[in-house]
Amino acid sequence: MISKEIKLGKKLSSKNNKRTEVLDVLVRREGKLSSSSDDSGEHLTAIVPCIQALVQEHDEEKPTVSPTFQAVSICSTKKESCGIRIRQEISTQLKQWLRIDSLVMLAIDFAIFQPFTIFNAHEYPVSKICYSPDGWTVASGSLDTTVKLWSIPEQRLHSTISGNKNWIRSLSFSPDGKTILTGSGDNRSKIWRVSDGRLLHTLLGYISCFSPDGMLVATGSLRDNLLRLYFSSSGARIRVMRGHTSAINAIDFSPSSGGKILTGSSDTTLRLWTPGSLEQVVFRGHKGWVTAAVFSLDNEHIVSGSSDFTVKVWQSDGTLLRTLYQHCDWVSGISRSPVQNSVIATCSHDSTIKLWCIVTGKELFSFQGKDRIFDVKFSPCGQYLIAGNHAQSSIHVVMVPYTVLVN
């Protein structure tokens, strides 16, 4: 065991023996860490500084130990890339080597999985954010009306899409990654070609998303409260659906077949639509605007967030299963895990990102920030979250804690 530890220490930095010494401390404590939980407080005090020491030399600012959304600014390309790699290396090796109790595992999560800035994105706050299907590109939309495409491997700005006349209200890549769909406060959605930023089609509606096969686009309107369906290839309108009595703020296709469309509105309701029929299921229960709504990965549940500060979990027939009350301001975004049926992430104007099990209603993890968070998205692999920060106009990366991934 000690030889493994020394080998990693040398790998992390052949010129600095400090990491080797730190890992030596961790390994020597292994017996104690896997013992009874009576001494857990002592173990936490001992292990957190050790883990911190491994991370801090790769960041410009020293991360705090407390479980907060303390963003660590990384200024240079070299440091940004190193910051991501060092967290991956440490978290993977520690979980393989140490047979430890859940409380100490939580300490490791708090010490390593602190969000850190990878892109100082825009002149104004980041309002929407998304990953490309291959996970190599992050797109960010802003109150400055632009969309920026960022290369993850190169850690740099790839291109900027300009042409929207108001701030970005929705943002998504097509399933093949060749086009990107923007929705803007001017009540227009636009389909752009990623390779050269060329505008392909302009559609009516300020909230929009692609179907799972990429053939259709659904848009929700700010002014006439209508749901519209378009062909993505031609921009031709297929049909218009009526039902909401106020602006549509959220829209999602069922992830498996795309046979259903979910919308959330300022009229406080959600509606589940079946394109091609008059069937609608109405969900009532929120006391404020519905600001976010998604299907679960397995289509078994629907999750919604509201200006009433709550997150609600529903059955597809409109039955309310449970209400989650832990946010203390508007729920601004919801993202489903692409690898776990029961896990979702929410973000709020209360500056937090929370991970939930929607089957039990349990809060799995929480990150506390310094200012409002407008949007959060899982990476395609499910191991990272990206979030748009209001005050710093930047993009943060959060590693999903190991304790969430294994459950």
For residue 217, the cross-strand partners are: 210, 230
The CATH code belonging to domain 119-401 is 2.130.10.10
pLDDT per residue of the chain (407 residues) written in tens, 0 to 9 = 333 333 333 333 333 444 444 444 444 443 333 333 344 344 444 555 555 555 554 444 433 322 222 222 222 233 334 444 555 555 555 555 554 444 444 444 444 444 555 567 677 888 999 999 988 888 999 999 999 998 877 778 889 999 999 999 999 999 999 999 999 999 999 999 999 999 999 999 999 999 999 999 999 998 899 999 999 999 999 999 999 999 999 999 999 776 899 999 999 999 999 988 878 999 999 999 999 999 999 999 999 999 999 999 999 999 999 999 999 999 999 999 998 999 999 999 999 999 999 999 999 988 887 788 999 999 888 878 888 876 666 677 776 765 565 55
**Report field, pTM of the whole predicted structure over 0.85:** no
Place of tokens 């801090």: 56
N residues, the chain: 407
- Cβ-contact 265, 225 below 8 angstroms: yes
Q: In what order do the strands lie in the sheet with 261-265?
A: 248-253, 261-265, 270-273, 280-283
One-letter-per-residue 3-state SS of 251-312: EEECCCCCCCEEEEECCCCEEEECCCCCCEEEECCCCCCEEEEEECCCCCCEEEEECCCCEE
Q: What is the pLDDT of residue 272?
A: 97
In DSSP notation, 13-65 reads -TT--HHHHHHHHHHHTHHHHTS-GGGHHHHHHHHHHHHHHHHHTTSSSPPPS
DSSP state of 131: E
The domain ranges of the chain are 2-114, 119-401
Cα distances from 230 to residues 1, 210, 239, 240, 245, in angstroms, run: 59, 10, 7, 9, 21
